[in-house]
């Protein structure tokens, strides 16, 4: 497996203040990678450097095998963008909009195929301004994938979505990853979104990568102490332990097999994330 993104020692400062302070990062071909961090952490600057829209001060960067600052025009054809505040052509129809952007690429996907992929075939002749927020976001994705990108950048893709629309969008992203082996770099503030979609997540704060791992293992999550909770004498009780099975067996013996209100929980991805960035829970 090769790497779609390779970053080593990346630095970028604004007016002497570091925004990106020595970032090292690799993203494999076909991987969904979520970059998490608070506002001002360096996410946007890092991603804009990878996209070729911002120059770095120092460090080595390779995206699809090229340095984004010096990449030839053909390199751009391999990059797809779905920006947080993407502008649309509100008075054009969906099919007209996607066909317009398809014209920028030497070998675009057939427009009908793209509309079917993003679930907009039945809306093809509707003006973009008449669509719901979730449907407009699908138009943004259609524009992002019409050029057959090898690497797709998704910036806060489901902001403002209702729960049903978010899950429909997640299904679309999984489909792109699984069917086309598209590499996806996702930035999001929704921890459940990162956990549902990403093969790996990275946490950035103050311009530095704090941790990179699978959602299940980030920050030692899989081996972290569990909390065993139960009800005793009408009051909630809690026990932190690294052996929840043993603790449960002892409780079962004490309660003759039926433990009132039993629950066993480990730290959530949000708990681990907040610990990493030093934010109170």
pTM of the model: 0.86
pLDDT above 90 coverage of the chain, percent: 69
Q: How far apart are CA 79 and CA 181, in angstroms?
A: 14
Q: For residue 88, what pLDDT is reported?
A: 64
Q: What confidence tier does 262 reach under pLDDT thresholds 50, 70, 90? A: very high
pLDDT over 60 at 176, yes or no: yes
pLDDT tens track for 193-209: 999 999 999 999 999 99
pLDDT over 80 at 251, yes or no: yes
Q: What confidence tier does 150 reach under pLDDT thresholds 50, 70, 90? A: very high
Beta strand pairing call for 235-241 and 226-232: antiparallel
Beta strand pairing call for 32-36 and 183-187: parallel
pLDDT tens track for 48-93: 999 999 999 999 999 999 999 999 989 999 999 987 665 567 889 9
Tokens of 90: 């509100």
């Amino acid at each position: 497996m090769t790497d779609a993104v390779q970053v080593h020692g990346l630095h970028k400062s604004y007016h002497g203040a570091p925004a990106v302070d020595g970032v090292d990062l690799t993203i494999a071909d076909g991987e969904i990678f979520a970059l998490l961090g608070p506002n001002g952490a360096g996410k946007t600057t890092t991603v804009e450097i990878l996209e070729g829209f911002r120059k770095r001060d120092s460090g080595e960067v390779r995206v699809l095998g090229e340095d984004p600052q010096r990449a030839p025009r053909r390199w751009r054809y391999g990059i797809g963008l779905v920006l947080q505040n993407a502008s649309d052509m509100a008075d054009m129809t969906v099919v007209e909009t996607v066909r317009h952007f398809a014209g920028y690429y030497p070998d675009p996907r057939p427009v009908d195929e793209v509309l079917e992929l993003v679930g907009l075939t039945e809306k093809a002749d509707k003006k973009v301004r008449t669509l719901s927020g979730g449907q407009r976001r699908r138009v943004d994705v259609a524009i992002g994938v019409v050029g057959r990108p090898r690497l797709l950048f998704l910036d806060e893709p489901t902001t403002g979505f209702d729960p049903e629309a978010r899950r429909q969008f997640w299904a679309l992203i999984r489909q792109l990853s699984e069917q086309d082996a598209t590499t996806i770099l996702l930035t999001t503030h929704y921890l459940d979104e990162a956990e549902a979609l990403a093969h790996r997540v990275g946490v950035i704060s103050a311009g530095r990568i704090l941790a990179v791992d699978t959602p299940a293992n980030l920050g030692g999550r899989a081996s972290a102490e569990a909390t065993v909770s139960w009800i005793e004498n009408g009051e909630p009780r809690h026990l932190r332990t690294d052996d929840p099975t043993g603790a449960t067996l002892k409780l079962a013996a004490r309660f003759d097999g039926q433990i009132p209100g039993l629950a066993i929980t480990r730290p959530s991805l949000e708990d681990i994330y907040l610990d990493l960035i030093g934010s109170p829970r």
